[in-house]
Amino acid sequence: MEEIKQKGFGYLIASLLLIILSVILFRYLWIPLLIILFIYNKKFDSDKNDKKKILLIGFIIFFISFLSFIFVPSNPIRPEKINIYIKNHYMDINSIQAIDIKVIPNRANIDDLKYISTGEDAVKINREEGKIIANSFKEGKSDIYVIDGKSNVKSNVITIKVIDKKAQALKKKKQQSIKSSKKITYVYISRTGSKYHSNKYCSHMRKPDKVDMKKAKATGYTPCKKCY
C-alpha cells in the first residue's frame, strides 16, 4: 500500500511540474496532465475519500492550467524574412498605389511590424487588409521598408519617386515652344527680286541666296504667293 501511495505521489508531482511548464513554456501541456490524472485514478486502488481528493486536485490543476491557457500569452512566431513588392516605382502626385507584403513564415505574428517611409512629405504609407497603401502628395522620393519591432528583421527597401505629370507635361510643352521659337527658318531670295521663297527653284531663280526669314523680312522682302 505504501508503495502505491509513493507511486501516486510521484504522479501528482509530475502533474504539478506540468503545470509549471504549461505556464512557462507551452500552454497545451495541461492536456497530458489530465491524462496522467486519469491513469492514476484508474490504475491505483484507493478508498472513496482518496479518490475524491484526487478528483479535487485534478479539478484544481485543470482550472489553473485552463486559466494559464487563456491569460498567459504564448510566444508568437516572429518573422524570419519580410519582402515587399511594388509594380511601379514612379507615382503621379495625389495618387494611391498598393505595395504587396510577404512574411516568412506566413504564420508569423505581424502585429509589431513597423511601416517606414523616409520621405513622408512625398509618400505616406499605412497598412490595409494585408497590403501597404502608399499615398503620394508632392514631388520627391521616399525609401519604403518594413521592420519587425520585436526581432528587428528588416525587409528589402524600395524607392518611390513622385512626379507631377501635369506640371511635367506643361514644362515639356514650354521647352518645345521655346526651342521652336529659336529655330531658324531659311528662305531663298534672288538678287533682283523682292520676294522670298521656300523653294529655291521657284520662279526659275538662278543661284539664289539662302538667308534667315527674319533677315529677309527686315530688309523688305515679302513672301512669294506661289510658295506661301
76, part of any domain: no
Q: How far apart are CA 222 and CA 228, in angstroms?
A: 10
Structural domain ending residue among the three candidates 114, 135, 165: 165
CATH at residue 139: 2.60.40.1080
Percent of the chain, pLDDT > 70? Answer: 66
Neighbours of 125 (CB within 10 A): 19
CA distance 206 to 19: 114
What is the residue-averaged pLDDT of the chain?
80
One domain, residues 67 and 120: no
User: Residue 32 falls within a domain, yes or no?
Assistant: yes
Whether the CB-CB separation of 21 and 33 falls below 8 Å is answered with no
Report the candidate in 125, 21, 64 with the shortest Cα–Cα distance to residue 56. Answer: 64
Over residues 40-69, the mean pLDDT reads: 63
174 is a domain residue: no
Per-residue pLDDT reduced to its tens digit, 89-125: 999 999 999 999 999 998 898 889 999 999 999 999 9
| 44 and 108 assigned to the same domain | no
Instruction: Give the mean pLDDT of 55-82.
Output: 72
Radius of gyration of the chain (CA): 43
Residue closest to 189 by CA, chosen among 145, 148, 224: 224
Domain count, the chain: 3
Q: 41-54 pLDDT, tens per residue? A: 665 555 566 666 66
- On the question of pLDDT at 208 being above 80, the answer is yes
Of 71, 90, 111, the last residue of a domain is 71
C-alpha cell at 208: 539664289
Q: Same domain, yes or no, for 225 and 158? A: no
Q: pLDDT tens digit string along 2-15?
A: 444 455 566 666 66
Residue where one domain finishes, among candidates 71, 101, 122: 71
The pLDDT value recorded for residue 214 is: 87
Q: Which residue has the higher pLDDT, 102 or 26?
A: 102
Residue 128 lies in a domain: yes
pLDDT number for residue 204:
84
Residue 224 is placed in which grid cell? 512669294
DSSP string for the chain: -HHHHHHHHHHHHHHHHHHHHHHHT-GGGHHHHHHHHHHHHHHS---HHHHHHHHHHHHHHHHHHHHHHHHSPP-PPPPSEEEEE-S-SEEETT-EEEEEEEEESTTS--TTEEEEES-TTTEEEEEETTEEEEEE-SSEEEEEEEEETTT--B---EEEEEE-HHHHHHHHHHHHHHHHHHSPPEEEE-SS-SEEESSTTGGG-SSPEEEEHHHHHHTT-EE-TTT-
Looking at the domain assignment, is residue 35 inside a domain? yes
User: 155-173: per-residue pLDDT in tens?
Assistant: 999 999 999 988 888 888 8
Range of the structural domain that residue 214 is part of: 183-228
- Determine phi and psi for 157, rounding to 5 degrees: -105, 130
Residue 148 has pLDDT above 60, yes or no: yes
Domain presence at residue 87: yes
pLDDT bin (cut points 50, 70, 90) of residue 37 is low
22 assigned to some structural domain: yes
